[in-house]
Amino acid sequence: MDFDDGKLTALLGPSGCGKSTMLNMLSGILPVTEGHIWFDEDDVTNMPPQDRGVGLVFQNYALYPHMTVLENIAFPLEIKKVPKAERIEKAKEMARLVHVDQLLDRKPGALSGGQQQRVAIARALIKEPRLLLLDEPLSNLDARLRLEMREEIRRIQLRTGVTTIFVTHDQEEAMSICDKIVLMKDGVLQQEDGPQELYDDPANLFVANFLGNPPINNVEGFIRDGAFVTKDEAVTIRYRNFPKELPEGREVILGIRAEAAIISRDETHDFTSVIKTRSTIGKEELAQLNLGEQEIRVYLSNEYEDEPGQAANFHLRRKGVFLFDKETGERL
């Protein structure tokens, strides 16, 4: 896989999928068992961490508790034996970049989680790394700070233009700030692309399920006469955007994003269903429908005013409807 120069890439996947292992191999903490790592033209596979020019931000920040913020940020330069005046100057500049220049004399114990995070980023950036690695940087923050810090990470990344890899298991985090997402599962690359491309064009069922909130609806069924039929044969969906050549009789899963089904204004429709319940979350309204015996959830438009229990016609939009092979999970 490739990580693009000067871009923010998310390494996304569920816990235990190997994303942290990958990060540690990139940084040189863990030895590479198979394959090679190149930074630009340099093969760094067997290079020790300090020669790779990577900056690493740990999940728990790993700030040295006995050093002040300034000493923490300057420490990588201290190791490089940069003269004291110069490294303090540089550390102050970094502190300004990440907005902790008011806290230089404090020890990490006296900082909030978000502030510690900023210091950790400054420390990783001070040696001007070729690659900045962030290991679940937001997982120790509360929800509000998480939003703030992810914008900060994006701002700092754009400002410095450093190639950044960001490990996370939170798809929303990855989707919101990254140029590119590398989605992994069980140590195997699933798909790599821009966030929107991944969302609109998932390679397999896992990718489709992993991205998006509310999660995509999975409806089990099979192919008959080029149309999708639910498992219990209760509903048949003919959809103009299905691939032309569908394998007859194949067991499939139909993925429908919650925003992909809309109520039809007229008699033309892709399927008909009864709206069972409606629930409002914030400004959005979700409805539960049945497709045969299987339940799906879709967004309702604001104009829909009927009480639950009414049947309605639904259109499927051009985007957000996919067919997957049930056995392999591959997209058809």
Partner 1 sequence: MADLAKKEKPARSKAEAQGNYIFNRKWEPVLYMLPFALGLLVFTIYPIVRVVIMAFQEKYRLSGRYDGFGLYNFQYVLGNDDFRNAISNTFIYVFTVVPIATILAILIANLLNQKIRGMAIFQTAYFLPMVTSSIAVGLSWRYIFNSQIGVMNWLLSLFGIEAVDWLGASGGVAPWNIVAVIIFGVWNMLPFTIILLLSGLQNIDPMYYTAAKVDGAGSRKIFFRITVPLLAPTIFLTMIINMISAFKVYNEIIPFWSGRPGAINNLYTMVYFIKEQFYSKDRLGFASAAAIILFLIIFTFTMLQRYVQRKFRY
Spatial contact of 233 and 244, defined as CB atoms under 8 Å apart = no
Shortest reach from residue 166's CB to partner 1, in Å:
17
**Residue 140: C-alpha distances to residues 22, 136, 181, 199, 326 (Å):** 21, 8, 21, 27, 37
Site of interaction with partner 1 (CB under 8 A): 27-29, 49-51, 54, 56, 58, 60, 62, 64-67, 75-76, 78-80, 107-109, 127
Q: Which is nearer to partner 1, 60 or 241 (CB)?
A: 60
Q: Which is nearer to partner 1, 107 or 315 (CB)?
A: 107
SS (H, E, C) 121-189: HHHHHCCCCCEEEEECCCCCCCHHHHHHHHHHHHHHHHHHCCEEEEEECCHHHHHHHCCEEEEEECCEE
Q: Which is nearer to partner 1, 65 or 83 (CB)?
A: 65
Q: Which is nearer to partner 1, 23 or 223 (CB)?
A: 23
Shortest reach from residue 167's CB to partner 1, in Å:
15
Shortest reach from residue 114's CB to partner 1, in Å:
19
Shortest reach from residue 143's CB to partner 1, in Å:
25
Q: Which is nearer to partner 1, 39 or 222 (CB)?
A: 39
Shortest reach from residue 137's CB to partner 1, in Å:
14
Q: Distance between CA 240 and CA 233 in Å, rounded?
A: 20
